[in-house]
Amino acid sequence: MKKVGVAILGLGVVGSGTYNMLTEHRQFYMDTQGVDVTVENVLELNRQKALALGVPESKIAANIAEICSNPDVDIVIEVMGGVEPAKTFVLSALNAGKSVVTSNKELFCKHSHELEKAAKKNSCGLFYEATCVGGVPVIRTLLDNLQGNRILSIMGIINGTTNYILTKMTDDGASYEKVLKEAQKLGYAEADPTADVEGFDAAYKLSILSSLAFHTKIPFSRIYREGITHITPDDIQYGKQLGYVLKLLAIGKNTEDGIEVRVHPTYIRSSHPLASVKDSYNAVYVTGDYVEDVMLYGRGAGARPTASAIVGDVLYCATHPTFAYSTFPNTEEADPSAKFIDNFKSAYYLRLNAHDKAGVLAKVSSIFSRHNISLAQMIQEDGGDGTCVPLVFITHRTKEKSIAKAVEDINSTADIAEVVSVIRVVS
């Protein structure tokens, strides 16, 4: 039977899950995959953690060099996160002739070119299914299933923390701050939640997914990014009234006019399949010119689902005699011919705090009209204290810059209204 040795760099949540999966299922993989996969080394500063997990002391490596020179290690699994020292370690492994399986979205997003170059030079495999959306099989689907399609768009709920927070805010009407605290207690959000709630994590993943989908490198820096920290229960409730659910969506579109890539809070129609993706579940909704709509749904994070993606890559690498390099665009920057659209078109939700007096709606409407913005839906609440009332609009599709100008005009016109929220709408 073919023997394949692996090393695991980092025994955090995902590393431990991967260790457990590989050791628990060793016989199962011999029976079903015809390969004997053994963990030959781990790299973990906290030796007690490794021992507690059941790693034999002799398998705990002192440093990356020991792993790179271990002839029994064929595949290195990098689950450390962060750019350094992960990048140095992965390059060392590739240069030592080891194939690499990584879950490190930030590393792969920022340095895929350098990593793929090293993999090719050394004829090693480089696998990264686990970088995007945990156990949901989205990378291989784009590479090996939908590759015959021109991908028109990708829309994803690809961050579990923010989806958990927005779901709770929607179901319980609670404030962002309150739900964030609960999420932190439950381990759904980090002590410093910035990477999740400000959309960095989703933007790394969108960079990887849209680069694959659109066959040109989409650098992180080209992605418009807006988090969920300013979302209020009021906005969620008004959206509901109008038939929409609020999600942090990662959107990539490849239209005749160019490429749009953006991560921001978005209202989607409550009948859309993405609208029912709740709690920490994730989903990616892909539209291709032939396949039409495909949605991939599941656990986007967590020890066991992410281990499933990593072990899937390990077994693929172990059972496929030659590695076919991905069509991942081999540049660090976007192709010079790629055209990016910043002034994209969208429908918009606007919530205004309007003076409760005659003529305000007419004035606001005339500002919209001046910028060629037409209105689709409106809610005007009864005046409460007689000074200000909420005024909510959903526009038809218009350009990002037209909305910005309209908001500026409304805010700068005396005595009519202040724009409190502007949120994009996918209809």
Question: CA dihedral defined by 219, 299, 249, 256, rounded to 10 degrees?
Answer: 60
The residue (of 276 and 372) whose beta carbon lies closer to a second copy is: 276
Three-state secondary-structure class, residue 322: coil
**Least Å from the CB of residue 52 to a second copy:** 20
**Least Å from the CB of residue 208 to a second copy:** 16
Residue 336 binds a second copy (CB under 8 A): no
Residue 308 binds a second copy (CB under 8 A): yes
| Binding positions for a second copy, 105-164, rule CB under 8 A | 129, 135-137, 140-141, 144-150
CB-neighbour burial class of residue 136 (10 A; exposed 0-12, middle 13-18, buried 19+): buried
Residue 353 binds a second copy (CB under 8 A): no
The residue (of 253 and 424) whose beta carbon lies closer to a second copy is: 253
Which of 324, 358, 362, 414 is the binder for a second copy (CB under 8 A)? 324
Beta strands (DSSP E) in 199-332 are: 224-225, 244-255, 258-269, 281-288, 292-299
- Using CA atoms, how far residue 122 sits from 79, 87, 116, in Å, is 21, 16, 10
Residue 28 binds a second copy (CB under 8 A): yes
Under a CB-based contact definition with an 8 Å cutoff, are residues 217 and 335 in contact? Answer: yes
Name the residues annotated as catalytic: 205
Q: Which residues of 297-310 are buried (b: 16+ CB within 10 A; e: fewer)?
A: bbbbbbbebbbbbb
Q: Measure the CA–CA gap between 345 and 116, rounded to whole angstroms.
A: 35
Residue 322 binds a second copy (CB under 8 A): yes
Residue 331 binds a second copy (CB under 8 A): no
* Cis peptide leading into residue 193 (ω within 30°): no
**Least Å from the CB of residue 327 to a second copy:** 6
Which of 190, 257, 292, 332 is the binder for a second copy (CB under 8 A)? 292
**Least Å from the CB of residue 276 to a second copy:** 6
CA 391 to chain centre: 33
Which of 263, 288, 364, 423 is the binder for a second copy (CB under 8 A)? 288
| Binding positions for a second copy, 212-231, rule CB under 8 A | 215
Residues that bind a second copy (CB under 8 A): 17, 21, 25, 28-29, 31-34, 129, 135-137, 140-141, 144-150, 215, 273, 276, 288-299, 302, 304-305, 307-309, 311-312, 314-316, 319-322, 324, 327
